[in-house]
Structure 1
Amino acid sequence: MSAVNVFVTSPDTRSERRFDLHITIEQLKGKLELITGIPVENQVLHLVNSLDDTRPIAALSEDSRPLGYYGVRDYQAIKVDDLNPATSFTGQLTDTSQVDKFELTEEEYSKRADTVLAYKQRMKMGRFAEKEANAAEEAKEVAIPVGSRCEIESNEAGLHKRGTVRFVGPTKFGTGGTWVGVEYDEPMGKNDGSVQGERYFTCAPKYGVFVRPEKVKVGDFPPEELDLDDDEEM
């Protein structure tokens, strides 16, 4: 085996990657900087058994050692900690404590005529739609297994939105029927697996998305690798 599939986790990211076992820890850190946003000099790497079992197996601390030296196996995880968050963006992507919020009570919101809720009421969309139409939509069977790899239809040429199916079924949002919840490999999504306060699955912020089944193609779609030029691997 010359390469392994592993999960990479950091304070702001989680993804699945494939790495050559012959690259050095120093080269690996260069790749991880592009994935996590944590500068090489601030990275502390630990190998853990899985995303659920985060007890350290080994510290990947010797820059000159190849990754394979540490006995890395498929679907273990590399945990990337930041020694100096003040010099990077660690935590800032998910910290909304300093953001001023404009809030309306539910009663105030329901009385306004320029809202999405008012538009849906006028157009009989969502929970305001005809019950017969919703029932017909919900009756459709969808053969998309949870846990399968998939690629999502994109309007941008050459853009592959790949990920893993995490949810299939009806939701409390939208116009009824079946929705497919996907955890993207990259932060190209819109949520963390929850919508309007209702959780359907769990993933990192901006990695989750819900789409209609017809936009989902299930198959053998491995995570995209970051290919760096030789002069970038020092």
Structure 2
Amino acid sequence: MSNTLTLFVSSLDTRSERRFDRHLPIAQLKTKLELITGIPVANQRLAAYDADADAQPARVLDDDAQPLGFYGLRDFQVLKVEDTNPSVSFTGQLTDVSAVEKFELTEEQYAARQDSVLAYKQRHKVGRFAPKDAPDSPSAAAPVPPIPVGARCEIDSAEPGLHKRGTVRFVGRTHFGSAGGAWVGVEYDEPFGKNDGSVDGQRYFQCLDKYGVFVRPDRVTVGDFPVIDDVEMEDEEM
């Protein structure tokens, strides 16, 4: 068994994937979780769930003196951090957008923008702007996007708060995808992928199985994204 445990840390305002040492005492774990969730150590109640939708926890981490491994948790369980005194830490205010002034565009204002998805489709004759006899999908003639191979990136996820990060390993056209167009091959930091950099026996890049994925360019954000990992131990280890 690995000494490292991978968990989804969830609170009212945050959700992220983290790695922790199984030997870490719960008291020190709470100190780390305060940096992640903003909930003071004294106000934290910790419980592990097999899934977000579960009503009952699989384990309640209620002994600060015990190490994390004492509770027999498995990788990718959900560690929920409940705030027992939200009036002190203002839990929930970060996600309350009722008082935030909304940015809205009229249809005419949106149509006039040159940096929108609509403008991209118009320029490259994609979707409803494609010729009548062309498939309603990205054109094979569309240019390969200027995404540098080797760049760090983050991929849009359908699950709110879940960040899928990795490194760009391939940019170009592939043999798969009936409508053609460019794909971006990404090596994830974690096993969120679907392949090892090859599809149907044709290799585009090399990585471990389940770490590779191919996505459309509009789902890729390039930037200086660090690996989502355990919070630095700083002075807690000597």
Q: Note whether the superposition's TM-score is higher than 0.5.
A: yes
Percentage of identical aligned residues: 39
Aligned residue number for residue 76 of structure 1: 77
Aligned residue number for residue 59 of structure 1: 60
Output the CA distance in 2 between the equivalents of 1:207 and 1:71: 26
What's the CA shift for 1:48? 1.6
- Contact conserved, 1:154 with 1:161, CA < 8 A, in 2? no
Aligned residue number for residue 213 of structure 1: 183
Output the CA distance in 2 between the equivalents of 1:25 and 1:76: 16
State how 1:20-169 maps to structure 2 within 5 Å. Answer: 20-101=21-102, 103=104, 109-110=107-108, 114-116=112-114, 120=119, 124=123, 129-131=129-131, 135=137, 137=139, 160-161=152-153
Partner letter of residue 156 of structure 2? V
Secondary structure (helix, strand or coil) at the match of 1:41 reads helix
**What RMSD over aligned residues (CA atoms) do the two structures have, in Å?**
4.1
What's the CA shift for 1:22? 0.9
C-alpha spacing 1:128/1:80, structure 2 compared with 1 (3 Å):
same
- Contact conserved, 1:121 with 1:128, CA < 8 A, in 2? no
Q: Which runs of 5+ in 1 are unaligned?
A: 141-151, 163-180, 184-200
Output the CA distance in 1 between the equivalents of 2:6 and 2:71: 14
C-alpha spacing 1:112/1:71, structure 2 compared with 1 (3 Å):
closer
Relative to the length of structure 1, the TM-score reads 0.58
Aligned residue number for residue 156 of structure 2: 182
Aligned residue number for residue 159 of structure 2: 202
Relative to the length of structure 2, the TM-score reads 0.57
Output the CA distance in 2 between the equivalents of 1:21 and 1:73: 10
Partner letter of residue 86 of structure 2? P
2:232 to 221, 227, 232: 227
Partner letter of residue 25 of structure 1? I
